[in-house]
Structure 1
Amino acid sequence: MTTDFPNYRRLLPRQAWMRRGGILLAVWSCIAAIALAASLVVLFLIVDLLVYRGRIQVPVADAEQLVPFVTTVGPAGVAEDTGIRSVLWRHRNFPVPNCPVATRIRTPLSRFIPLRTNRGALATLVVSLVGLGILHAFSLNRIRSRAAGLAQEVATSLRSQIHRQILRLGPGDLDQRDYSSAQSLFVRSVDAISGALTSLLSTGISHWVGIVLVLALMLIIDWSITLQALFPLLAGFALIRWERTQGVLRQQLAEAHAAGDLRVLSEGLRKSRIVRGFGMEVVEQERFQMYLDRYSGIVRSGAIAQGWSLWAARVMGALMLAIVLYLVGSRVLGAGKPLGIPSALTIIAGFAALLPLVNGITSVSSLRRVIGVEWSAIQRFLSILPEVGQAVGAKFIDPVTKTIQFEGVSYRRGDRLLLNQFDLCIPAGSVTALVSLDPLEARAAAAMIPRFLEPQSGRVLFDGEDIGWGTLESIRAETIYVGGNDPCFTGTVSENIRCGDPRYDSPAVMEAAKLVHAHQFIQRLPLGYETQLGEHGEQLTPGQTFLLGLARAIIRNPAVIIIDEPTEALDQGTKNFLDDTYQRMSDQRTVVFIPTRLSTVRRCDRVVVIDEGRVDSIGPQPELVKSCELYRHWEYVTFNVFRRSGEKG
């Protein structure tokens, strides 16, 4: 697979970054980094003040040099209680002698009254350090909040795209494969991208700027000791990460090896009859204990290996720390130009501040890998083309008044041939049942009528007109598919029946519910037609949900209704009214059933038996029982007395 960096850039392009507050994120990242570096500077000033106690001492002959810093000098060239001025005097040649920028900074600091005494300077510096710490913490909070906001906007955009795609693909999803894939992408993949993107945006700019500023400060203080300590630290950090990774891999390898023994142990639980029947208790117990001991040993060895890896990582970390302390301490104790204690402590604090920053940067590759993998999966799903599209120059298709004709229709889904040169004529105004041993074959034929699926060869005709050249709007306005397992929408009962169509008022909604015998149970709901349904609302039985689906269809008064009956058992209240509901709905319209109830099959004018993608037999149910062995087999498999009574209908 190619690098995930292009995927990351496509996920959050520059224009979107600018539009969605990326500049504010960058600003807060820089503020956080500057606050961290400034904290180290203030820490250096505090330590210097505590070590030297605000005391300045120079030869008497050079006492006049102190005039810009202090006004009173003792007879021995000593000035006491000078506050921040002692620090400025000692470092007057920092970073280079007579630096104009440094001079412009030192002059106002030396004249600032709270900094002119030791106690005043200490109080001011401590307050400054606390303030910088608060600013740094607040900046990190804003960075995290802004990063989470950006990631959430990306997640919202991805979820909208997945939702639009499933609306395009969903009608032809016979076996719910597309829905399952979309649900996993919608929840798991988008959450993974959102979390990884939040972490990536939180660490990216602030960590890099912080590393640059802190490292620059340390190099200015003493470049040689910083570089001497930096390289062993980086090498040790890399070794620690490698050792930890190896420890995790060793444990995973041990668990993989142990999985085989665990399967053997679990399979032994199924052999109790053989063991007891043949008197193998002792042999089986010995064998079970052998595998159990081996499994425990492998798992224990993996845990020990990981423990040793963690121990080795800690030892290496302690060794690196000891090296840094030794190098810095050697410079403090060295002859010639020794390193001051304030500078030494500031360098050590700088390295301590660098460790979490570097650790965050090293996690960027894994975060980008997560984003790349999940983003690629989403893109593969979004790139799937829907099977059905509207042809250029498509025309209006009139409602069916004569026949629905299938001519040589073939359709394959994956490696399964569901329809194979399928020919069928359904007279208008008839009630037809489509049955097949493979339920997907009947569903595929029914889904061709509203053009949820497109024939891969052959065609479907409404009164002699090829619906492949018709507008989807005109076809689906007069051809309604009622899925028995379709859920309710989140909203009121009235909204579920109306489906957002303003043409239908409350009386029309109530009339449709009465026609399908749903009015009775709706009236018993807490708020009647205004009762909320869905995730946080009233929960309906499968039968009640099915009746709402029938009301949703009948309110539109279509010429053709396709009813895919529920596979779940219906409550007795729904069963009592369903035959009368079907009778009312069948008046002066074409009805096609995919039945799961024997009473539904019996009331149909014709039953079409489909086998291996072709029409095997056609006729009323009583005739097929006598003449069609395949139908008798289907009826027995579907409705035999040994099935649960709730499924027989």
Structure 2
Amino acid sequence: MSNRQPNAFHRAFPAREFFRGSARSVLFWSLVNGLLLILLLVDLFLIIDLLDHRGRITLRGEQNVQLLKELRTAPVSLPVENEQEEPESEPENGQADAKDNVPDGAPEAKSPQAEEAPRLEMVSLTDSGILPSVWWTYSKYQMGLLPQLYQRVPLLQENQTALFTLICFALVVASIRVLIRWRSRQKSLKISHQVSMTLRNMIHRQALRLGPGDLSGKETEQAFQLFIRDVGTVQQGVFQWVYGQSRHPVTLLILLLFTISIDWRLTLQCMIPLVAAWYFLLQHRK
């Protein structure tokens, strides 16, 4: 059982206050801000990938081409390399003359079987928007969100409109994140102001009790210093603690879950040195 006693700061604002009133709303807005950060990162990935591949995608194999047909709303046209010219059919009169020249009893010559339709074993597309990114994420992670988004939003199916749409979406998400951070900051200021007002009321009541017996005015001066200077320091500390604790841990947790969903092995390889560095930093500060 821990004998650790809370210090004056934690007595002024206990940890349980995080789940009450305005502090709970700060946690909620921090969670929304972290989710918007994930959307912004995905959007930046699509923008950078679009600038890299420029909407060009080439696939080989009948299974891959068939899967591409399912992802793409517009029909996939046959490439020029696989098109085969159909032989011109002979006139019907010529075929009739040939049949007349065949002697009786001789086996009839079998007409050549119709050639099967050529299978689409390779396809190359240009100006397909974010289709290469959609194909890569779907084939690697089997994620169905991007294919549905690509099929339902025609603006993402061409390079220019896709780039313009992604940039506008990034600006909108970034603006919303700025507004949410401002909202969280205002809520944190409100919490710190409430804590400071509570402390000042307690100091004022204590000063009134000690006032008649304070003939030298020393205790009144000390209460005045607590009322102005120390409570202001506590107010600033509560603001920094609430705003930081509700913002950074939630964001780090969401980013950790996002990286694990992408590649948990690579995430583990990166987390081991980060945790070790964090531990040594904490030991150094102690």
Aligned to 1:228: 269
Give the alignment partner of residue 67 of structure 1, picking from 48, 66, 69: 69
Aligned to 1:457: none
Give the alignment partner of residue 131 of structure 1, picking from 169, 172, 180: 172
Matched, 1:51 2:52: yes
Give the alignment partner of residue 200 of structure 2, picking from 159, 169, 175: 159
SS at match of 1:67: helix
Aligned to 1:189: 230
Specify which structure has the bigger relative contact order, considering alpha-carbon pairs within 8 angstroms and separated by 6 or more residues.
Answer: 2
Structure 2 CA distance, aligned partners of 1:171 and 1:8?
32
Structure 2 CA distance, aligned partners of 1:239 and 1:125?
41
Runs of 4+ in 1 over 6 A off after TM superposition: none
From the superposition, tell whether residues 163 and 127 of structure 1 become closer, same or farther in structure 2 (CA, over 3 Å): same
Aligned runs of 1:564-643 on 2, under 5 Å?
Answer: none
Contact 2:12–2:195 (8 Å) recurs in 1: no
Aligned to 1:110: 151
Report how far residue 5 of structure 1 moved. 6.6
**Larger % of strand: which?**
1
Structure 1 CA distance, aligned partners of 2:4 and 2:53?
59
From the superposition, tell whether residues 3 and 119 of structure 1 become closer, same or farther in structure 2 (CA, over 3 Å): farther
Structure 2 CA distance, aligned partners of 1:90 and 1:13?
44
Instruction: Provide the alpha-carbon RMSD of the alignment.
Output: 2.7
Report how far residue 194 of structure 1 moved. 0.7
Aligned to 1:83: 129
Contact 1:56–1:80 (8 Å) recurs in 2: yes
Aligned partner of 1:33: which letter? G
Report how far residue 196 of structure 1 moved. 0.8
Report how far residue 182 of structure 1 moved. 0.9
Structure 1 CA distance, aligned partners of 2:146 and 2:55?
19
Structure 2 CA distance, aligned partners of 1:161 and 1:6?
14
Contact 1:32–1:136 (8 Å) recurs in 2: yes
Higher CA-based Rg: 1
Report how far residue 60 of structure 1 moved. 5.0
Aligned partner of 1:11: which letter? F
Contact 2:47–2:163 (8 Å) recurs in 1: yes
Q: What are the ranges of 5 or more consecutive residues in structure 2 without an aligned counterpart?
A: 80-121
Contact 1:54–1:118 (8 Å) recurs in 2: yes
Aligned runs of 1:205-244 on 2, under 5 Å?
Answer: 205-239=246-280
Structure 2 CA distance, aligned partners of 1:206 and 1:57?
43
Aligned partner of 1:31: which letter? V
Contact 2:17–2:23 (8 Å) recurs in 1: no
Further displaced range: 73-82 or 186-195: 73-82
Once the two structures are superposed, residues 187-220 of structure 1 have per-residue CA deviations (whole angstroms, 9 ceiling, x without a partner) of 2221111111101111112212211111122222
SS at match of 1:180: helix
Aligned to 2:98: none
Aligned runs of 1:352-371 on 2, under 5 Å?
Answer: none
Contact 2:23–2:242 (8 Å) recurs in 1: no
Aligned to 1:556: none
Report how far residue 12 of structure 1 moved. 5.1
SS at match of 2:211: helix
Aligned to 2:210: 169
Structure 1 CA distance, aligned partners of 2:18 and 2:68?
57
Contact 1:46–1:125 (8 Å) recurs in 2: yes
Structure 2 CA distance, aligned partners of 1:5 and 1:93?
54
From the superposition, tell whether residues 116 and 188 of structure 1 become closer, same or farther in structure 2 (CA, over 3 Å): same
Aligned runs of 1:26-41 on 2, under 5 Å?
Answer: 26-41=27-42
Structure 2 CA distance, aligned partners of 1:227 and 1:80?
37
How many aligned residue pairs are there?
A: 239
Q: What are the ranges of 5 or more consecutive residues in structure 1 without an aligned counterpart?
A: 247-649
Structure 2 CA distance, aligned partners of 1:198 and 1:15?
13
Once the two structures are superposed, residues 33-53 of structure 1 have per-residue CA deviations (whole angstroms, 9 ceiling, x without a partner) of 112222211122222222222
SS at match of 2:138: coil
**Larger % of helix: which?**
2
Aligned partner of 2:135: which letter? W
Aligned partner of 1:171: which letter? P
SS at match of 2:215: coil
Aligned partner of 2:60: which letter? P
Structure 1 CA distance, aligned partners of 2:32 and 2:18?
22
Structure 2 CA distance, aligned partners of 1:153 and 1:30?
23
